[in-house]
Amino acid sequence: MLFARLLGSAFGTLSPRVRALHLREGATRWRGEVEVERGRGSLAALCIRATRLPPPGRGPIEVEIVAGEKDERWTRHVGGHAMRSQLWEADGLLCERLGLVTFGFALSARDGAIEWRVVRVRALGVPLPARWFGAVAAREFEADGRYRFDVQAALPLAGPLVRYRGWLDVD
């Protein structure tokens, strides 16, 4: 279990639905609702295309997670768009390849939630300054009896790229 390995004993402090999402092996499919806001401007549009971020709108989301021994493959289906990523562990970080960009996230557990913070980024294999990505973060938590997520990304010069938040039924 990738997230359990990365979080160690802190994994046990996560809320039940957050743990449940990350404790399945093989292929699982989760359904819920999402709201996606996207940034504007040509530089934001270029970054959005490079990472294959979802289109703006509100509606259903379906997330397929295929969890193997060494990695996980996530496909988020939003508004007829498939956003695919691969996740694995390297140097104690959760690495995620999203389109042309690979992020290295430090994970922490706080108040039953998982918080993702960018500490390393590569675009087409070229390292980029992590400080550019200080406004890229994700949080997985439980509220109102549901697994919830809140992901946001903004960059200097490009401004806001995306914010998508919602819930999945993990029962």
pLDDT at 171: 81
- Residue 104 sits in a domain whose CATH number is 2.40.128.20
The Cα 82–Cα 63 span in angstroms is 9
Over residues 53-93, the pLDDT tens digits come to: 888 999 999 999 999 989 999 999 998 899 999 999 999 99
pLDDT at 163: 94
Over residues 113-160, the pLDDT tens digits come to: 999 999 999 999 999 999 999 999 999 999 999 999 999 999 888 888
Task: Give me the domain span that covers residue 63.
Answer: 2-169
Count of domains forming the chain: 1
pLDDT at 48: 83
Question: Structure pTM?
Answer: 0.92
